[in-house]
Amino acid sequence: MEKKDIIQSFKDSLFTGLIALALFGPIVGLRTVSKGEGLFITPQWGVVFLLVGLCILGRFLININSARRTEFKIFSTLSSKFSSVTEDKAKHFAITGILFAVVFPFLPFTDRYFMDVAIMILTYIMLGWGLNIVVGLAGLLDLGYVAFYAVGAYSYALIATTFGWSFWICLPLAGVFAAFFGILLGFPVLRLRGDYLAIVTLGFGEIIRIILINWYEVTNGPDGITGIPRPSFFGLPFKRSPDEGETSFHLFFNLEYSTMHRIIFLYYLILVLALITNYFTLKIRKLPVGRAWEALREDEIACKSLGVNPTNTKLTAFAIGAMFGGFAGSFFATRQAFISPESFTFIESAIIVAIVVLGGMGSQTGVVLASIFLIGITEMFRDLEQYRMIAFGGAMVLIMVFKPKGILANRKPTILMHGDKK
Amino acid sequence: MEYFIQQLVNGITLGSIYGLIAIGYTMVYGIIGMINFAHGDIFMIGAFVALISFIIFGLTGVALPIILLLVLLIAMLFTACYGWTVEKLAYKPLRGSFRLAPLISALGMSIVLQNYVQVSQGARVKPMQPLFSGGLEFFKNSEFIVTVSYLQIFIVVLTIILMGIFTYLITKTDLGRAQRACEQDRTMTALLGINVDRTISITFIIGSSLASVAGMMFVLYYGVIDFYIGFLAGIKAFTAAVLGGIGSLPGAMLGGLLIGLIETFWAGYVSLEYKDVAAFSVLIIVLIFFPTGFLGKPDIEKV
């Protein structure tokens, strides 16, 4: 490398430092603190200089690297190798994954914390698979998916607490309600183009949340609904001391009482629900309606001219996606035993959309990988609570910049007319 | 009647703030066809920079007009840096990529900015002592006295001045011509020797500085900010941009005014809790009946 290059990249790094100083100077350097009546400023110049120094150093290293033209080569070869391997062995991967998921609760290192994280990841996988029908297959960007999740959770909670019906009756009802809301929203707005649709669905998600907060008589407002019945194992509750005339799970099977029983049951419940979603998606992709979704995603005008009714086709995708969101919502409600509008903010929608898009829209395996990756990142940063979401957002940007098509890009049509062209 | 006029005045003030943010959305959408989701958070950062500078200058005891001018310039400068950096980091590498990629990147950026401010400035709401006081009073003989505060006059006048400068910039200067050319055909513009990357960067800089002015007005008008204000304000401003016809600059201002008025009147006459619902419902209704907004050009689909 010539001396001129080094001086050039040094200048460039200094410029980066200047920008970084402008960025971090006021916001990080001058922290506003309320003391008594007014606001006062506490300077934090040390942090600013650290950040600016890091930016200069980082920029300088990148400059030197790119002069040698080795920029991120390792990264891209690794990721392309990775995606080709996973695509070839998708079936093996899926079977191994499911087997692992089935034996996971009985592995020696699995404890309560791991089970909770696993249940959370599976919930997001299910939501991701549900949204994948809408975003990945039908190509409709839905930024308000959490609305259907909320509708499912609240319908489950309201039905279960009011009528005392069992989980297995409430679950389908919650799905039906969510699907109904999907149709209600979808009917007027599905004629809109992509970006507009995204914003309208976002608005719808917010409307649902505002109604949940303010409709105090039904939803109990910001306090939420408590005492949602826990699920039972086909009529056998998970209680240490069952009520009169009841047999609880551990007595029936002659086991020592443990809170883990319920957790393991919940784990399998969400695993089964998620796999049903996956199975359904894989099957419906091969039916006429699923093929119409993929065709619509690729070219709407061609579809119209071939006699596909775009609005009805999109509506089915929307309703089915909403239904699975509703199922996931009921699971959430029964697992938490408490729900409030807090749980259904826009950020949840953003996470679910991020999972679908980062996974590579339309790829079922991609959703699994993206959920594990994103939820894993936020879990790794759990001790640094405040930096969790920064890491999460940063990961979204980075993946998009380096792999804009997602981890596993899969836009191949499920069925081709003349077999698989190779 | 008097109550109506009071609501009208409040609505126009709020509408000015939304309009200034909406211009950033509509310009970016016009030039690179993406929803800059992080724009609301750029507005929030502008509000924070303004708040910090108000506190610093408040201690020095300089006259109010000078403080206002200085804060305005500082907020514009620092916030423009944010707009520029966000574009360089998160959107530029994705130019020419498929449609959803920049949107997801923008979502990520919005999450990063929000939490970055939360970490560095704290999650608590930040109150500020009012700088302006007093106002003009009308209809003094009636039951309801209409007050137009000096602050409201300041906001509306400043908006009109900025809109004037901005319109001049877009319609009369080389920069504006380059921008409009980029909107129509980026490849052709590049062939004619215009630096497209620079033009796009400048678009982000202008959009961010206007948003920072809106942020400053927000601090002055409401007196309370937190790291989360960008989300709702951003969505409403985007609604305003869509309402006026996205890509159209006068449309953004018109849409901003309409959203401000709808929100104020809804809060004044119907219910305060559901004022945000009103704005979103209007968006849905407008998009169904006027899919391109009020002043937008019809979008012709080509095969």
Please tell me whether residues A29 and A144 are part of one structural domain. no
Q: What is the 3-state secondary structure of B176-212?
A: HHHHHHHHHCHHHHHHCCCCHHHHHHHHHHHHHHHHH
Q: State residue B44's pLDDT score.
A: 92
Q: Show residues of chain B in contact with A404, CB under 8 Å.
A: 94, 97-98, 101
Q: Are residues A170 and A59 in the same domain?
A: no
Could you tell me the CA-to-CA distances from A392 to A165, A389, B110 in Å, in that order? 39, 5, 11
Per-residue pLDDT at B42: 92
Q: Mention every residue, 6+ apart, whose C-beta is less than 8 A from residue B22.
A: B237, B238, B240, B241, B244, B252, B253, B255, B256
A362 contact partners, CB below 8 Å, separation of at least 6? A132, A136, A137, A294, A410, A411
- Residue A43 domain-assigned (yes or no): yes
Task: Say yes or no to pLDDT of A405 above 50.
Answer: yes
Residue type, A338: F
A41, A31 Cβ separation under 8 angstroms: yes
Kindly determine whether residue A396 and residue B107, on different chains, have CB atoms separated by under 8 Å: yes
Query: How many domains does one find in chain A?
Result: 2
Radius of gyration of chain A (CA): 25
CA distances in angstroms from A146 to A152, A201, A253, A341, listed in the order given: 10, 10, 38, 11
pLDDT computed for residue A324 by the predictor: 92
Has residue A422 been placed in a domain?
Answer: no
Asked whether residue A90 falls in the same domain as residue A234, the answer is yes
Q: Which pLDDT belongs to residue A76?
A: 57
Task: For residue B251, give how far its alpha carbon lies from the nearest alpha carbon of chain A (Å).
Answer: 16
Q: Is residue A38 domain-shared with residue A131, that is, in the same domain?
A: no
Whose tokens are 């921008």? That residue is B179
Q: What is the DSSP string of A238-277?
A: --SSPPTT---HHHHTT----THHHHHHHHHHHHHHHHHH
Question: Which two structure tokens, joined as six digits, stand for B234?
Answer: 């951003």
Give the closest of A25, A206, A393 to B276, CB-based. A206
Residue among A344, A411, A323 nearest A126 (CA)? A323
Instruction: Collect all residues of chain B within an 8 Å Cβ-Cβ radius of residue A350.
Output: 107, 111
Under 8 Å between Cβ of A145 and A353:
yes
Contacts of A386 in chain B (CB under 8 A): 115, 118-119
Instruction: Mark whether A49 and A83 lie in a shared domain.
Output: no
- Smallest Cα distance from B229 to chain A, Å: 14
Asked whether residue A184 falls in the same domain as residue A296, the answer is yes
Render pLDDT for A151-175 as a digit per residue (tens, 0 to 9).
999 998 888 888 877 778 888 888 9
Predicted confidence at residue A218, as pLDDT, reads 79
Q: Are A140 and A289 in contact (CB under 8 A)?
A: no
Mean pLDDT of chain A: 79
Beta pairing class for B146-149 and B135-138? antiparallel
pLDDT digits (tens, 9 = 90+) for A114-152: 888 888 889 999 999 999 888 888 888 888 899 999 999
Instruction: Name every residue whose Cβ is closer than 8 Å to that of residue A28 and which is 6 or more positions away in sequence.
Output: A44, A47, A48, A51, B120
Neighboring chain A residues of B48 at a CB cutoff of 8 Å:
26-27
For residue A299, tell me if it sits in a domain: yes
Residues 6+ apart with CB under 8 A from A148: A178, A181, A182, A321, A322, A323, A325, A326, A329
Give residue A351's pLDDT.
Answer: 86
Over range A364-368, report the average pLDDT.
83
| A410 found inside a domain | no
Give the pLDDT confidence score for residue A71 in this predicted structure: 47
- How many CB atoms are closer than 10 A to CB A241? 8
- Residue B108 near residue A389 (C-beta atoms within 8 A): no
In terms of Cβ atoms closer than 10 Å to its own Cβ (0-12, 13-18, 19+), residue B58 is middle
Residues of A in contact with B93 (CB under 8 A): 401
Give residue B61's region: left, alpha or beta (phi > 0; psi -120 to 50).
left
Over the Cα atoms of chain B, what is R_g?
19
| Structure confidence by residue, pLDDT tens digits, B72-102 | 998 899 899 889 988 888 888 888 777 777 8
So where are chain B's domains? 2-161+197-289
- A contact residues 7-66, partner B, Cβ 8 Å cutoff: 19, 22-23, 25-28, 30-34, 38-41
Range(s) of the domain holding residue A53: 3-71
The distance in angstroms from the start CA to the end CA of chain B is 53
Determine phi and psi for B12, rounding to 5 degrees: -65, -40
Q: Is A30 helix (H, G, I), strand (E, B) or coil?
A: strand
Q: Distance between terminal CA atoms of chain A?
A: 44
User: Is residue A409 over pLDDT 80?
Assistant: no
The pLDDT-based confidence of A299 (bands split at 50, 70, 90) is confident
A314 CB burial (10 A radius; 0-12, 13-18, 19+): buried
Instruction: Report the alpha-carbon distance of residue B99 to residue A139 in Å, rounded.
Output: 11
Residue of A31, A32, A50 to mutate, testing the B interface (most B Cβ within 10 Å of its Cβ):
A32
Cβ contact, residue pair A27, B121, below 8 Å: yes
Q: Can you say whether the dihedral through the CA atoms of A114, A118, A124, A125 is positive or negative? A: positive
Higher pLDDT: A417 or A343? It is A343
Q: Hey, are the CB atoms on B115 and A396 less than 8 Å from each other?
A: no
User: Hey, are the CB atoms on A393 and B111 less than 8 Å from each other?
Assistant: yes
pLDDT at A38 over 80: no
Nearest to A369 by CA among A107, A85, A169, A143: A85
Q: Are A321 and A370 found together in one domain?
A: yes
Question: Residue by residue, what is the 3-state secondary structure of B103-171?
Answer: HHHHHHHHHHHHHHHHHHHCCCCEECCCCCCCEEEECCCCCCCEEEEHHHHHHHHHHHHHHHHHHHHHH
Check residue A323 and give its pLDDT.
92
Q: Do B274 and A210 touch (CB under 8 A)?
A: yes
Q: Is A89 domain-assigned?
A: yes
Q: Does residue A60 sit within a domain?
A: yes
Give residue A122's identity as a one-letter amino acid code: L
Interchain pair A396, B105: CB under 8 A: yes
Tokens 């049509």 -> residue: A413
Burial A100-130 (b: 16+ CB within 10 A, else e): ebeebbeeeebeeeebebbbbbbbbbbbbbb
| Tens-binned pLDDT, residue by residue, of chain B (303 aa) | 778 888 888 888 889 999 989 988 888 888 887 888 889 999 999 998 988 888 888 777 777 888 888 889 988 998 998 899 888 888 888 887 777 778 888 888 998 998 888 888 877 788 877 777 777 777 777 777 777 888 888 888 999 998 888 888 888 888 888 888 888 888 888 898 888 888 889 889 998 999 999 999 998 888 888 888 888 888 888 888 888 887 778 888 888 998 899 888 888 887 777 777 887 888 778 777 777 777 776 665 555
Summarised one tens digit per residue, pLDDT across range A198-245 is 878 888 888 888 888 888 877 777 888 887 777 777 666 666 666 666
Looking at the structure, tell me whether residues A104 and A232 fall in a common domain.
yes
pLDDT of residue A1: 57
Please tell me the predicted confidence (pLDDT) of residue A421.
45
Give A24→chain B minimum CA distance, Å: 9
Q: List CB contacts of A313: < 8 A, sequence separation 6 or more.
A: A138, A289, A292, A293, A296, A303
Calculate the alpha carbon distances from B199 to B85, B204, B295 in Å.
Answer: 14, 9, 24
List the structure tokens of A170.
């409430």
Of A189, A214, A354, which has the smallest distance from its Cβ to B284's Cβ?
A: A189
Please give the average per-residue pLDDT across A329-356, as a whole number.
86
Cβ-Cβ pairs closer than 8 A, A with B, add up to: 178
Whether A379 is covered by a domain: the verdict is yes
Last residue in a domain, options A40, A71, A102: A71
